[in-house]
Amino acid sequence: METKRHIRKSVLKLRDELPQSVRQTMSRRIIGRLMDTDAYKEAGAILSYVNFKSEVETEELIAEALKSGKRVYCPRIDEENMDFYRITCMEELSEGYKGIREPMPEGNRLLSGRDISIQKCLMIMPGSVFDKERNRIGYGKGYYDRYLERYPQLPTIAICFECQIVEHVPAEVYDRKPAMILTEEAFYT
C-alpha cells in the first residue's frame, strides 16, 4: 500500500504541474479520440466521472453525449458506496464528496443493474496512475473497484494523460482493470 501511495503522489504531482492550457488541449484530444471509438459510438448510455482538479476534463464529453441523445450517468458517493445517477444537463450537478460535482439524487434516476443489462453502457474511468498492462491506481478508496465488482459486465475505458502511464503498477486481486486506456498519444488494450 505504501508503494501505491508513493507512486500516486509522484504521478499526481506531475499531472498537477501540467499548465492548465496544456491540460485543456490534451483533454480535448483525448475526448475526441474517445468519441471516435466504436465503444463510444455504439453506447446508448455513458457513465462518466465529472473532472476534478487536474483530471482529464470531461465536461465536453458529457455535453456531446447529451446532445447526441445518449443517456448520461455520473457518480455520487454515499459514505462507502458509489452509484451512478442520470443527468440531463450539467446544472443537475452540485458540489458533493470532497468538492467533486455530483448529481443531486432528488429528481435524478439511479442506474440499476437491470438498466446496465438493457442499455448499451460504457463507463469512462478516472485514475491517478496506470501502466501499459491496464493496471490502475485510483485515489485510494476503491469506489470504482467495488462498483465494477457489482457489475463486472460493464465495458470500461479509462482516460488519462500520458504522464500518468508508468512502467509498472502493483496490482491487488480486487483491482479492476479497464478494457482500454486512452491518452492523448496512445491506446492501451
Q: Is residue 142 a known part of a binding site?
A: yes
Please tell me the distance from the alpha carbon of residue 153 to that of residue 123, in angstroms, as a whole number. Answer: 11
Segment (H or E) for 59: helix 59-67
Q: Is residue 6 a known part of a binding site?
A: yes
pLDDT in tens, 87-137: 999 999 999 988 999 998 777 788 888 888 778 999 999 999 999 999 999
Q: Is residue 8 a known part of a binding site?
A: yes
pLDDT in tens, 23-52: 999 999 999 999 999 999 999 999 999 999
Residue closest to 159 by CA, chosen among 141, 175, 133, 179: 179
Q: How many CA atoms lie within 13 A of 145 on its CB side?
A: 16
Q: Is residue 138 a known part of a binding site?
A: yes
CB contact set of 8 (below 8 Å; sequence gap of 6+)? 128, 129, 137, 139, 140
pTM, to two decimals: 0.93
Please tell me the distance from the alpha carbon of residue 159 to that of residue 183, in angstroms, as a whole number. Answer: 6
Residue appearing with cell numbers 485514475: 127
**Structural domains in the chain, sorted by start:** 2-188 (3.40.50.10420)
Residue appearing with cell numbers 490502475: 136
On whether the CB atoms of residues 123 and 150 are closer than 8 A, the answer is: no
Q: Is residue 96 a known part of a binding site?
A: no
Q: Is residue 166 a known part of a binding site?
A: no
